[in-house]
Amino acid sequence: MVQRTFPAEAMSMDLSPKKPAKAYGGDGGAYYDWAPADLPMLGAASIGAAKLHLAAGGLSLPSYSDSAKVAYVLQGAGACGVVLPEAAREKVIPVKEGDALALPFGAVTWWHNAADAAAGELVVLFLGDTSKGHRPGRFTNFQLTGASGIFTGFSTEFVARAWDLDQESAAKLVSTQPGSGIVKLADGHRMPAPRAEDRDGMVLNCLEAPLDVDIKGGGRVVVLNTANLPLVKEVGLGADLVRIDAHSMCSPGFSCDSAYQVTYIVRGSGRVQVVGIDGTRVLETRAEGGCLFIVPRFFVVSKIADDTGMEWFSIITTPNPIFSHLAGRTSVWKAISPAVLETAFNTTPEMEKMFRSKRLDSEIFFAPN
């Protein structure tokens, strides 16, 4: 049984948005991750978060993880090789900005940026559940090759026997492994061509998908769930991409199915408030592009964008999340009987009626007045 923190423990934690630290890399790119020591809610919620930056010609070598993940392409274009458990062949998926992929346990992946230097980096965000991993709150990636790879961990004898090689060939193969999990390909080295058909059932582009919410002057939402990407069920995580316009507000709301919300600010900035137990405001801050923060279970969060607007990608620790909002047309308060509200707010019928009459045509985003 997975043990997760009680909300009371989150009250004393630092919920401030944080940026990642570089874990390793070289000429081909770098891998960054968030550590529970810097963002304690990662460990409490058993969530891992990392980013991969690949330069032109960069290749992230084949690996698998101890955690199921959702990958989201923040920038650039390239290819992702995926071998699913018990799969008959490798999928070579063309990826671009806005693509979301669900990567279940046991999936072996590699990533490649085939662009020239002028096209810039390929940047991929990874968010996932580490509750079954070796280190709660942090991914453990197992490289198949490289100086720290599985291949080089076996003795020459075992390598020779397993792959039917002579001792000399086995020793040579082991000794030529690259030193990092990310390399830069030599000029002229040809990689397998991505296949458009391999995107089927594997990818949802959140920038092109039909909008689940579209409020003029307010904001837009695309939800990633089992309906539009079935692999989400195996991963056990839902996700969404939210974009709100300048000075717009996201209605205060909470996950009502005991899920954590893990939010990465893609671009823009804005103010964030989170309210927890006993009406305590546990976070009031300004979040900007590149930051990550986590909202504990049942805590209420709201955001107001700066004049640049605000865009964020979130995972929710359930494949089909359910949210309750406290303002707008679908507000929980609008469903409660007037007599109950009058007493609960200790107010007059006139004030209750005015309260109920507001935001009758607003969904979850409120455009500036």
| Higher pLDDT among residues 359 and 38, named by residue | 38
Q: How far apart are CA 222 and CA 226, in angstroms?
A: 13
Residue 108: which residues within 8 A CB-CB, separation 6 or more?
A: 62, 63, 64, 82, 83, 144
Domain membership of residue 231 (yes or no) is no
Domain membership of residue 59 (yes or no) is yes
Number of compact structural domains in the chain:
2
The verdict on pTM exceeding 0.85 is: yes
* CATH code for the domain of 38: 2.60.120.10
In this structure, what are the phi and psi dihedrals at residue 29, rounded to the nearest 5 degrees? 150, -165
Per the structure block, which two tokens stand in for 181?
């999990």
Confidence of residue 279 (pLDDT cuts 50, 70, 90): confident
Q: How far apart are CA 97 and CA 108, in angstroms?
A: 21
Which pLDDT does position 62 carry in this prediction?
94
Domain membership of residue 97 (yes or no) is yes
Domain boundary among 182, 199, 216: 199
C-beta of residue 123 within 8 angstroms of C-beta of residue 60:
no
Q: How far apart are CA 153 and CA 144, in angstroms?
A: 10
Which pLDDT tens digit goes with each residue over 130-185?
Answer: 999 999 999 999 998 887 888 888 899 998 999 899 999 988 888 887 778 899 99
| Higher pLDDT among residues 195 and 357, named by residue | 195
**Same domain, residue pair 194 and 331:** no
Domain membership of residue 355 (yes or no) is yes
Which pLDDT does position 1 carry in this prediction?
34
Domain membership of residue 228 (yes or no) is no
Closest among 170, 131, 103, 120 to 46, alpha carbons compared? 131
C-beta of residue 236 within 8 angstroms of C-beta of residue 68:
yes
Dihedral sign (CA 104, 109, 115, 120)? positive
C-beta of residue 291 within 8 angstroms of C-beta of residue 20:
no
In this structure, what are the phi and psi dihedrals at residue 56, rounded to the nearest 5 degrees? -55, 130
Q: Domain containing 342: what range?
A: 327-368
> Within 13 Å of residue 93, how many CA atoms lie on the same side as its CB?
26
C-beta of residue 50 within 8 angstroms of C-beta of residue 126:
yes
Q: How far apart are CA 265 and CA 289, in angstroms?
A: 5
Domain membership of residue 314 (yes or no) is no
Q: What DSSP assignment string belongs to 169-230?
A: HHHHHHHT--SSSEEEPPTTPPPPPP-GGGGTTTEEETTTSPPSEEETTTEEEEEE-TTT-T
Residue 349 parent element (H or E): helix 349-357
Confidence of residue 366 (pLDDT cuts 50, 70, 90): confident
Per the structure block, which two tokens stand in for 39?
């963002």
